[in-house]
Structure 1
Amino acid sequence: MTNLTVRASETSLPTALPDAFFDRDAQTLARELLGKVIRHRVGELWLSARIIETEAYYFEEKGSHASLGYTEKRKALFLDGGHIYMYYARGGDSLNFSAQGPGNAVLIKSGYPWVDELSGPASLAQMLLNNPDAQGRPRPSQKLCAGQTLLCKALGLKVPTWDAKRFDHEVLLVEDIGAAPAHIIQTTRLGIPHGRDEHLMYRFVDAAYAAYCTRNPLRRGQLEGRDYFLL
């Protein structure tokens, strides 16, 4: 990481993942997205977060929105891989990417602020302003994107702007910065109602960032081989 502050207008565009990257099995995509960086250009700044936690969803399982059937609001889930599906959860915005096959997608569950030559301290400062705590105070930076709605708030991503859209590589993209996780944790998804396939282990966490995701799968009381697997 570096302390350089570089405005978006003063540098070349980052290298975006192509749409074809997203056209793969949802679990494969969920694992492959870990370590990639979401970049959202707001004014002259690129706001960026490393993806540290994802969840895969399939049309045929009850935990997915797609299992409730096609609607105009859910149409992005039924489009080709690489479409953006956003919805409101607990009063905040949530970000998903369609995967291979109608109704299949990956939820970006949480991230970690990313600072580099393109997204410098000014970008992080803007993210902190975007997402204060309940008392209006700055959150600890490591917890700034620790949840699907916190991530979107910090990055300035809104449902009306991006739902059912393709990426616009001058404004929103996902970049491979060559930081693949050394180890990945596979465990159950969060917030799935009882009886809606809550047992499926479709959540994936970058093990090095487990303490900063929505809920740490390595917390006390969790057993490897029962509650999670280390890939």
Structure 2
Amino acid sequence: MPSHLPPSFFARPAEVVAPELIGCLLVKRQADGEFLWGLIVETEAYSQDDPACHGYRRRSPSNETLFGEPGRFYVYVSYGIHHCVNVVTDRAEWANGVLLRAVALPDEPERVAAGPALLARRFGIDGRRDAQPVDPEAGLWLAARSPGWAAIGPGDLVQTTRIGISQGQELPWRWYLRASRSVSKRARGDRTPARADALSVAALPAGF
């Protein structure tokens, strides 16, 4: 199994962590002991000085996790029905986090987790995971890029503006894997690749 990302990885600004999460793995240990995993292909960054951030105006019981120590999940409900999964970043007492927007799962439909709500639904993530450490001991974590994906560079990523927000739309704080067909929404002019993601047995991390 690839090593899980330590708290120190997340102790940096969201706009630094977000692109580095592309190619990492979201992993869940299921009740039967099997692993459900997928390649993170799209992320968004949010910071307290950004009007689109939940912690921009005030601290409240609903966004308390976002002000906590980095390396914890922040799970909130959007539109009263959809769960969205974030990872707290930077430092305590400063609202900062990365939204996991899309994941590509091997041997599953390309768009089964192409969006925050679909991602949470496929992995069975809800409010019970809020404030939980991003750690294998808790059963849900983020793992480092496997060797087959370690060489992802700036040329492999698209950096563009965030979507689904009414403020801060001008910030280019969304990143996605250019070669992926599992991205929730592509930037204008960026065509969907003809081939599916290169998720195969060869890319499967050892131990899974």
Percent identity reads 27
Q: Tell me whether 1:214 sits opposite 2:181 in the alignment.
A: no
1:27 matched residue in structure 2? 15
The whole-number CA distance in structure 2 between the counterparts of 1:20 and 1:114 is: 29
Q: Is the 8 A contact 2:85 2:120 kept in 1?
A: yes
Superposition pairs of residues 59-138 of structure 1, within 5 angstroms: 59-90=48-79, 91-101=81-91, 102-114=94-106
Return structure 1 stretches of 4+ with deviation > 4 angstroms.
218-221
Q: Tell me whether 1:187 sits opposite 2:160 in the alignment.
A: yes
Q: Is the 8 A contact 2:135 2:142 kept in 1?
A: no
Q: Find the structure with the greater CA-based Rg.
A: 1
TM-score scaled by length of structure 1: 0.73
Q: How many aligned positions are there? A: 181
Which runs of no fewer than 5 residues in structure 2 stay unpaired? Answer: 192-208
**How far has the Cα of 1:15 moved from its partner?**
2.3
The whole-number CA distance in structure 2 between the counterparts of 1:61 and 1:167 is: 24
Q: CA RMSD in A?
A: 1.8
Q: Secondary structure at the match of 1:191?
A: coil
Q: Secondary structure at the match of 2:110?
A: helix
Q: Is the 8 A contact 2:112 2:119 kept in 1?
A: yes
Q: Secondary structure at the match of 1:66?
A: coil
2:6 matched residue in structure 1? 18
Q: Tell me whether 1:203 sits opposite 2:162 in the alignment.
A: no
Among 166, 170, 173, the alignment partner of 2:133 is 166
Q: Is the 8 A contact 2:4 2:135 kept in 1?
A: no
Which runs of no fewer than 5 residues in structure 1 stay unpaired? Answer: 1-12, 116-123, 125-140, 222-231
1:129 matched residue in structure 2? none
The whole-number CA distance in structure 2 between the counterparts of 1:22 and 1:41 is: 21
TM-score scaled by length of structure 2: 0.81
